Amino acid sequence: MTALTETADKIKSMEIRGAGKIARAAAGALKEEALSIRTNDIKEFNKRMDEAYNLLYSTRPTAVSLPNALRAVMRYNAGTVAEARQAIVSNADAFIAGSENAVKRIGEIGAHRIKDGDTIMTHCNSSAAFSIFETAFKQGKKINVIATETRPRQQGYVTVDFLQKAGIPTTLILDSAVRYTMKKVDLVIVGADAITVNGSLVNKVGTSQVALAANEARVGFICAAETYKFSPRTLFGEMVEIEERDPAEVLCNELRMKWPNLRISNPAFDITPHKFIDMIITEIGAISPEMAYWVIKDKLGWELEETAEANVKGCDDEN
Ligand code: RI2
């Protein structure tokens, strides 16, 4: 097994998980691959890098941070293998450093939204959301974070572990206790796997229920998302694919054998309409969901041009 296939397997199995971490791991894997390919033939090198790109691209379909990271690293135009290798290494390093800085900056910006004494609910496990909690707590704000368990993979335990290690008062609840508990909550903060052009949020399944409960209780709903989680392809009408995961995550083997005709649906993500989102905290500022188009256009402009070119080329090919 190579470093590349190992990373791809770990992303697929969710040993590496969380949209930001997936993106950084994929960028790092492309860099390692570029350094390990032994050829002086640029065509052969490019072919091997395309294969690496495709392998990583196919691991998980929903978090748009993954294709955005892969495309950022693969933006090179080189005549020799040495030039190509250097460009990939520097693109990957820049993406990883930019991503880590973005999470830190989101913490600083988002902490302004937290008041001393706030009780904040979160769902699943998000490094960007955690960055906000940690920053606010370090500023001396006494906060209490309510974390949902997040069936079926229990990423809530990861969140609880982060919070407990940071010394932040934490309460764990079942996913089904969200609405009942909402009356004690001042603010909801979650992460993002993708933000669409109309500002809607694709995040861990159950997020939209949390948003509905927050809306009903007039509790603010904030999403923490680095700009590379915005989806340029949605501008061209493409939908974000919702990952359907293994039924074994939902029900054990024994019960599945007991009910052989039972169908199990296990979508990993859902969509929270923009009207339920008060604010998106990005590294370039706190914005309304309606500004998603501008983030895609201004911040991911190069990506947009390439997507548009690919679409036009696709049309020509068909004609
Ligand atoms: P950060 C996770 O997906 C969760 O849905 C989380 O909200 C999102 O990625 C963003 O996480 P999964 O990989 O990038 O657990 O903020 O399916 O860490």
Give the domains, in start order, of the chain with CATH numbers: 3-104 (1.20.120.420), 105-299 (3.40.50.10470)
Mark the ranges of the chain whose per-residue pLDDT is less than 70.
302-319
For residue 21, which of 105, 125, 167, 107 has the smallest C-alpha distance? 125
Please, are residues 161 and 125 in contact by the beta-carbon 8 Å criterion? no
Q: Nearest residue CA, atom 16 of ligand 1?
A: 126
Pairing of strands 201-204, 119-122: unpaired
Q: Are 186 and 219 in contact (CB under 8 A)?
A: yes
pLDDT at 300: 76
pLDDT at 91: 97
Per-residue confidence (pLDDT) for residue 1, from 0 to 100: 81
Q: Is the shortest distance between the CB of 234 and ligand 1 below 6 Å?
A: no
What pLDDT sits at residue 298? 87
Is residue 126 in contact with ligand 1, taking CB distance under 6 Å? yes
- State whether the beta carbon of 232 lies less than 6 angstroms from ligand 1: no
DSSP letter for 230, please: B
Question: Could you tell me which of 215, 205, 184 has the C-alpha nearest to residue 121?
Answer: 184
Q: Which residue among 50, 186, 193, 223 is the active-site one? A: 193
Ligand 1 pocket check for 191: Cβ under 6 Å:
yes
Q: Is the minimum distance from the CB of 123 to ligand 1 under 6 angstroms?
A: no
**In the prediction, which pLDDT does 66 show?**
97
In terms of phi and psi (left: phi > 0; alpha: psi -120 to 50; beta: otherwise), the region of 218 is left
The string over 182-200, giving b where at least 16 C-beta atoms fall within 10 Å of a residue's C-beta and e elsewhere, is beebebbbbbbbbbbbebb
Alpha carbon separation from 135 to 129, 143, 225, 227 (Å, rounded): 10, 11, 16, 20
Instruction: Determine the pLDDT at residue 319.
Output: 33
Pocket test for ligand 1, best of 125, 189, 242, 244 (most atoms within 8 A of CB): 125
**3-state class (DSSP) for residue 306:** helix
Q: Can 193 be counted among the known catalytic residues?
A: yes
CA 236 to centroid of ligand 1, rounded, Å: 24
Neighbouring-strand partners of residue 201: 195, 272
Distance 17 CA to ligand 1 centre (A): 7
- This prediction's pTM: 0.94
